[in-house]
Structure 1
Amino acid sequence: MFIPLHDANTLKHIRVQYVTIGLIAANLLLWALTAVAPQAVGELAALGLGFIPAVAFNYAELDPSFVVVPEGATYLTYAFLHLDFWHLASNMLFLWVFGDNVEDALGHLRFLIFYLLCAAAGALFHALVTPISEGPLIGASGAISGVVAAYFILHPRVRLWVLVFLRIPLPLPAFIPLTLWIGQQFVMLALNLDSMVSWGAHVGGIIAGAFLVVVMRRKGVPLLDRQVVLPKAVETRTSVPQIPRSQS
């Protein structure tokens, strides 16, 4: 529906979004390692690190030869694997645009905890929707959905440059594209449970992110910030008109 490109929402409490950068680096590194590895290694990573609802709910058992981490850890590890470069790129772009301001509002450590909890909530909701699925869930979308929900609650009036329908760049108040995006996740969950996209993970992340940002934000950080922040490309300046004087 849209791709976020840029906002001009400055950081107020931190100098650098270390956790956001670190999460992007970790995702890129793991994707690079699996991309250059033999196909068998990629399949092992997906099965061993991906989240499998049927295994989590004891409807099936994973072959011990595919076990890489303890079963409970896959609620988190799945969020660092991606199917291909474009799957990775779309998630990391959302994290880059929205993650820094959520990290600013929560603080470094709490943002990391927030991100991981949203990932776990996405996996859990996915499992509740498809409890007997034996396909591994991979991708950071659950965690990213939580970040998007938090940004929406914190900064709905900030202007975003977004690419609409992959063609039209527009500066819009954040609540317009984000409301449409969040609504789309719930609609698609209701209409398309068998899709290759886990709408359940998205919805689980959104619900967790909306709740957690309220209770985990720094003291004094407002919700639904009314300050309008414009991207530099659409900043306006007022000037005092100069009235020409007649010369005598």
Structure 2
Amino acid sequence: MFLPLHDGVPLKNMKTPYVTRTVLISCVVVYLVTFFGPPGPDAMVAGFGLIPSVLFGTEILPEGFPFVSEPLTLVTNIFLHGSLLHLLGNMLFLWVFGDNVEDAMGHLRFLAFFLICGAAASLTHAFIDPASHRPLIGASGGVSGVVAAYLILYPRVRIWGLFLKGIPLRLPAYWAIGFWFVLQFISAFFGADDGVGWFAHLGGFVVGAILTPLMRHRYDPVLARAQAQELQAPR
């Protein structure tokens, strides 16, 4: 287990990470609508969640479902969450890492980046188990792309987090995120809880790593070196 708590990296190119905050608020609002408003959680998941067998046309839902076209569920499922812990975990990762990645990409690029990573994660999950009738929901795939971007952009920044059974440690990003990635990899390939979209996490991470050099602002090695020295200075 790894839960990030704080990184302390200041924003350099913007004052407010509007997209990160908008995604956070959107996920919270959708969660409240899902569990406390019509049409109810089962209908919301069936209507907006990604069901691989439905996406590939081997299974058909009852009339009226899904609420959007099947390809759009690759994106709409990102904003649904199955429990409060599911929501809080994803939003914590997005809160800690998202603002700095948005700062490095700009608002519109970051929005596109997050949605592409989320859709790619969903598609990875669907291809791994195309006959599955279990809905995939959650922002984990998009968040995994954000985590990959953070690792590339700020590998040596020290992150406060809770590790294993809640041990607080302050480690460089490459150790903290590397530990998280190894957990995802082991869980995906060695039979962890099949109720979690582990391959979606891996798919989002890989696509995020590929897209980050293409979607970040122009790279200035002198500025990057100065920022790295500033971030590594004792506090």
Note if 1:10 corresponds to 2:10: yes
Name 1:243's counterpart in structure 2: none
Output the TM-score relative to the length of structure 1: 0.88
Task: Please give the alpha-carbon distance, in whole angstroms, between the structure 2 residues aligned to 1:221 and 1:33.
Answer: 44
Q: Secondary structure at the match of 2:4?
A: strand
Answer with 1 or 2: which has the greater Rg: 1
* Deviations, residues 30-63 of structure 1 (Å, cap 9, x unaligned): 101112136x621111011000111111111122
Match of 2:115 in 1: 116
Contact 1:81 1:140 in 2 (8 A): yes
Any idea what SS the aligned residue of 2:15 has?
coil
Question: 2:149 is aligned with what amino acid?
Answer: A
Matches within 5 A, 1:12-51: 12-37=12-37, 41-51=40-50
1:35-114 maps to which residues of 2 (within 5 A)? Answer: 35-37=35-37, 41-114=40-113
Distance in 1 separating the partners of 2:35 and 2:148:
30
Distance 1:149 1:69 in 2: 30
Sequence identity (%):
46
**C-alpha distance in 2 between matches for 1:211 and 1:143:** 13
CA distance in structure 1 between the partners assigned to 2:135 and 2:196 by the alignment: 12
Q: CA deviation at 1:14?
A: 1.0
How many equivalent pairs are there? 230
Q: Deviations along 1:168-216, whole A, 9 cap, x unmatched?
A: 2211111111011112212221112761111111011001100111111
- Whether the 8 Å contact between 1:105 and 1:221 is mirrored in structure 2 is no
Equivalence for 2:128: 129
AA aligned to 1:187 is I
Q: Note closer, same or farther for the CA distance 1:84–1:216 as it changes in structure 2 (3 Å cut).
A: same
In structure 2, the residue matched to 1:219 is 218
CA separation of 1:196/1:144 partners in 2, compared to 1, >3 Å: closer, same or farther? same
Q: Gapped runs of 5+ residues in structure 1? A: 236-248
Gaps of 5+ in 2: none
Shift of 1:151: 0.3
Deviations 1:140-181 (A, max 9, x none): 000000000110011010011111224322111111110111
Partner of residue 145, structure 2: 146
Structure 2 counterparts to residues 170-209 of structure 1, below 5 A: 170-192=169-191, 195-209=194-208
2 CA distance for matches of 1:2 and 1:186? 14
* 2:162 alignment counterpart: 163
Deviation per residue, 1:81-131 (Å, 9 max, x gap) = 000111000000000000001001110000000000001001100011111
The code of the aligned residue for 1:195 comes to D
Over the aligned positions, Cα root-mean-square deviation in angstroms equals 1.7
> Normalized against structure 2, the TM-score is what?
0.93
Deviates more, 1:83-92 or 1:158-167: 158-167
Partner-residue secondary structure (3-state), 1:93: helix
Runs of 4+ residues deviating >4 angstroms = none
Q: Which amino acid aligns with 1:129?
A: I
Which has the larger share of helix?
2
Aligned residue type for 2:21: I
